[in-house]
Chains A and B, each alone.
Chain A
Amino acid sequence: MTSNHRITLTVNGQTQDCEIEARLTLADCLREKLNLTGTHLGCEHGVCGACTVLVDGAAVRSCLMFAVQAQDTDIKTVEGLADGDQLSDLQQAFHDNFALQCGFCTPGFMTTAEAFLSENPTPTRAEVQSAISGNICRCTGYVSIIDAILDAAARHRGDAT
């Protein structure tokens, strides 16, 4: 349980080596070993979605995955969404649509939405509602988040908004 393992993974484009216990979750590895604290823990049992990160492009709950399972994967966290100081379309859409209040759940919503939009660039409102139904937000009531994701999809397509 407490034996150490050395893993190599790519996080936000950078190769990282970590020496970790087998039982360390990916979330704790990112937060504690790599100091990427933008990934938040809301329940640590896979329900709330706050800790969602992209693992090889798929939205994954980093509280339910052991870091050792991330060997040789390519991971993207909220810190990797922007291009330098330039917010991504999705981040900008969240800002423009008031899609966050306290901001704690926001990284998980954005990573979930990023994976979803890469698979479905032209979603309906109902599809967006379904796609984020595994993430919990206590502040916004979701409406502005749904608006933001639809807005981001339109920006990706180059539609006027």
Chain B
Amino acid sequence: MNAPYIGQSVKRLEDQRLLTGAGRYIDDIKLPGMLVMAIYRSPHAHARIRGIDLTAARAVPGVTDVFAANDIDMNLPEIPLRLAPFDGFERFLQRPIAANKARYVGEPVAVVIATDRYIAEDALGLIEVDFEPLPAITTVDQAAAGDTLIHEDAGENMGTRYTVGRGDTDKAFADAPYTRRERFVTNRHGAVPMETRGLIAEFEPDIPLLRLHGATKVNFFNRRHLAAAFDLPETAVELIETDVGGGFGARGELYPEDYLVPIASRRAGCPVKWIEDRRENLTATNHSRDIVCDVEIAATEDGCILGMRAIVQGDMGAYIRTNGGVVPSKAAQFLPGPYRVPDFSCDVQFLITNKTPVGTFRGPGRFEANFCRERLLDMMAADLGIDPAELRHRNLMEPADLPYRIGELVPGDPDATFDRGNYPSALNRLLDEVGYDDWKDRQGDIIDGRTHGLGIACFIESSAAGPPESATITIRPDGRTEIRTGASSVGQGTETGLAQICADGLGIDIATIDVFHGSTTLVETGGGTFHSRNTVMAGNATRIAADALRDRALDLGALRWNCETAGLDYRDGAVRRSGESLSLAELATFAETRGERLFADATFDNEKKLSYSYGAHAALVAVDVATGMVEVKKYVLTEEIGRALNPAMVQGQAIGGLVQGLGGTFLDHMVYDDDGQLLTGSFADYLLPTSDGLPEITAIALEESPSEFNLMGFKGAGEGGIVAVAAAVGNAVSHALCAHDISITELPITPDSLRKALRDIGA
């Protein structure tokens, strides 16, 4: 494939190793003399720890060490807040291992180090802990009642609470001809990447060196906090990336194990590996969603929104981890969506319960907000006798409304402004593609015994927040070109995308480019990988570095030929003048003779100006009233992403996100019983989407509105596929069952829940 690469479906550079079994994921790395560790986790949701007996576990042949909190000779640090660090959260931070009390099933209580994992797990079974079980808080209502305190010193179970808004909602509602209030529940589920987490620590205090393999996502933030925790200079801490089997928000944050594995290595005096098993993964890795939202809308008789007000209650689990209050705060911020909602207010509550702590999962808060708002809009459309698409058109912001300052809807966030775009255009494209006009008067039609419905939903989604990103391009005398960036790869094709930009920027063959990313040993600094950042941030940094490298090549050419740069031209990987040229490799060799290198450093900083992706989703469903089974027959989505770097990879993001969203809508559910026991602790119980029953999918990436805030025009493309799935499907199922007056307000939508609702009305 030849240039230009940008905009082409360039085949992925990562594939060769991954297709041949030569990828190197964390569990594939074996170091000389390495031991393994396993973690004894609390079987209780809430219990005082009265005593721990490690004697029998320590006696197992092959076990080299077993330790609990009391055995650790350091002040156990609190896991820091990275995002949305609201006042009050400091009372609910987690330490790496429970000392006196366990607050969720899965909290680390003791650690075994052994020569192999089979032996380590044998020893786990011999650890005896004297627990005094305490009442478990498993709902936000119980948490708010505060009869049992999870963190006694805090004096309450409310992590924090604030109110945000714009305009005057009381006035909007007082005068409104139409209002409706509903409660929506979004199910607790999570990222659940195919590769569980894992780490290998090499801790050599005498050097000093702490090298941690298996890092990803936000290595430089994590390095800073690990260095502080272990009282090391930052330069003594190395975070090394491996191939990563999926992130989706959950992997790469600081967790208890990021401290426990180094502690184990320091105690053992050798490298120690920890690989999370799937049962651990489902209780130890961040959960997400789990929002209860009471939302009320005010409108005119002809369906123009006057105001919205809401109470968002987030079930945060037992501790506030690195992602702070992102999930509920973003649910609140995105509740008004891409519509004109002049008056809006939201009471946002963060409640502590005896469940696994919550963090981000692809589209955090957006998935939830879109479900609540888009369901409510469809209810309003029905109440007012307005077609749902027409209702949306009456309220969607027009291009003339943009940019639109949405106000300070998240405390401490920079003032947020929706950038330019054309929301109605994205909706119209969707309506055309799905054949809306053919379906809108056939809602509830029975075809082949099943009742059909078409649902639509609109969304807007921010991207690429956070610190600047780095990229360095270096030309080697052997002709290879290196990109080094602080961004991480979590499996989404980052290497390919950045190589495309570099290849076009320098006019070189993409096959000559190597991409090094993330590890603190490979780059000086980095912002990391989250919030659909990589293409926007690292992509633009790469573009800026390529431009600077061309200038540097021209300067070197002028020196080499002893002439002015004015007469020189840079084209196709070489500096040229009439009849002769100097290739980048030759210039790199020349630079070397001068004691220099041919390279360029760049940083891309969005200066807090975010680009917003937006679009619309539609689902056509068929519901079997007798069984409650829903089939999604057809799914269409449009997503404005500014510019598609690699259309096939963009498709992969959209479709992958959409299918994850179908899981969150129908299947994925962390179910807890009243004692705080997770009932879905294996893949036999925690269901994920599979290849059977996939809808016919059309995912359309729109490139009508390039971002104004970066050279390349990119907007994030990683999350638009998931954010409106529950919204569109919830609307579709509700339309299908309109004759039965069933309205979806709670996720997941299961055959069981639908049958119960149908039975209740005698259907």
Contact = CB atoms under 8 A, between A and B. Distances in A.
A1 to B, nearest CB: 9
Contact of A103 (B23, B196, B658, B692): B23
A89 to B, nearest CB: 12
B194 interface: yes
A138 B688 contact: yes
Interface in B635-685: 648-649, 651-652, 655-660, 682-684
Interface string B1-32: 00000000101101110111111110110100
B493 interface: yes
Interface string A32-49: 100111111111110110
Contacts of B493: 101
Contacts of B691: 128-130, 132-133, 135, 142, 145-146
B132 interface: no
B191 to A, nearest CB: 8
Nearest to B493: A101
B435 interface: no
B84 interface: no
B245 interface: yes
Nearest to B246: A102
A39 B21 contact: yes
A103 B491 contact: yes
A102 to B, nearest CB: 2
Q: Give the contact-size bracket for chain A.
A: 35 or more
B194 A141 contact: no
Nearest to A149: B691
B694 interface: yes
A139 B692 contact: no
Contacts of A95: 11-12, 15-16, 19
Given A102-B244, A129-B692, A140 B192 contact: no
Given A101-B491, A138-B248, A144-B655, A42 B278 contact: yes
Contact of B19 (A37, A106, A136): A106
Interface stretch (A75-83, A114-122, A153-161): A75-83
A90 B88 CA distance: 54
Contacts of B14: 103
B147 interface: no
Contacts of A31: 27-28
A56 interface: no
A94 B12 CA distance: 11
Contacts of B660: 138, 141
B690 A136 contact: yes
A138 B246 contact: yes
B354 interface: no
Contact of B194 (A23, A110, A138): A138
A26 interface: no
Contact of B684 (A39, A47, A138, A145): A47
Contacts of B191: 138
A84 B189 CA distance: 42
B118 interface: yes
Interface string A67-104: 00000000001110110000100010011101011111
B277 interface: yes
Interface string B24-58: 11011010000000000000000000000000000
A24 B119 CA distance: 11
Nearest to B655: A141
Nearest to A45: B682
Contacts of B21: 36-39, 77-79, 81, 107
Interface residues of B, number: 56
Nearest to A103: B18
B656 A139 contact: yes
Contacts of A139: 194, 246, 491-492, 652, 656
A81 B277 CA distance: 27
B656 A141 contact: yes
Nearest to B661: A141
B245 A102 contact: yes
Contacts of B28: 31, 37
B304 interface: no
A50 interface: yes
Residue of A36, A37, A45, A141 most packed against chain B (CB within 10 A): A141
Interface string A16-37: 0000010110000001100111
B123 to A, nearest CB: 13
Nearest to B694: A142
A93 B16 CA distance: 12
B682 A38 contact: no
B659 A104 contact: no
A105 interface: yes
A81 B694 CA distance: 28
Nearest to B688: A136
A32 B243 CA distance: 18
Contacts of B116: 32
B194 A50 contact: yes
Given A44-B277, A45-B278, A106-B18, A141 B9 contact: no
Contacts of A138: 191-194, 246, 248, 656, 660, 688
Interface in B110-169: 116, 118
B195 interface: yes
B447 to A, nearest CB: 19
Given A138-B193, A142-B691, A98 B9 contact: yes
B490 interface: yes
B666 to A, nearest CB: 14
A39 to B, nearest CB: 7
Contacts of A110: 19
A111 to B, nearest CB: 10
Contacts of A77: 21
Given A21-B118, A138-B660, A141-B659, A104 B25 contact: yes
B649 A98 contact: yes
B556 to A, nearest CB: 36
B268 interface: no
Contact of A48 (B20, B648, B683): B683
B118 A136 contact: no
A38 to B, nearest CB: 2
B236 interface: no
A38 B20 contact: yes
B697 interface: yes
Nearest to A132: B691
Contacts of A21: 118
A98 B246 contact: no
Contacts of A9: none
A98 B660 CA distance: 18
A15 to B, nearest CB: 20
Contacts of A54: none
A137 B194 contact: yes
B491 A104 contact: yes
Interface of A: 21, 23-24, 31-32, 35-45, 47-48, 50, 77-79, 81-82, 87, 91, 94-96, 98, 100-107, 110, 128-130, 132-146
Q: Lowest 8 A-B CB distances belong to which pairs?
A: A38-B21, A102-B491, A104-B245, A103-B18, A141-B659, A47-B683, A37-B28, A78-B21
Interface of B: 9, 11-12, 14-16, 18-25, 27-28, 30, 116, 118, 191-196, 243-246, 248, 277-278, 490-493, 648-649, 651-652, 655-660, 682-684, 688-692, 694, 697
17 contacts: A37-B24, A42-B195, A45-B682, A47-B683, A47-B684, A48-B278, A81-B21, A100-B19, A106-B18, A107-B21, A128-B691, A129-B694, A138-B248, A141-B689, A143-B694, A144-B651, A144-B655
Given A110-B19, A141-B660, 13 more contacts: A21-B118, A45-B683, A95-B15, A100-B15, A101-B492, A102-B490, A103-B245, A104-B193, A133-B690, A141-B697, A143-B697, A144-B651, A146-B691
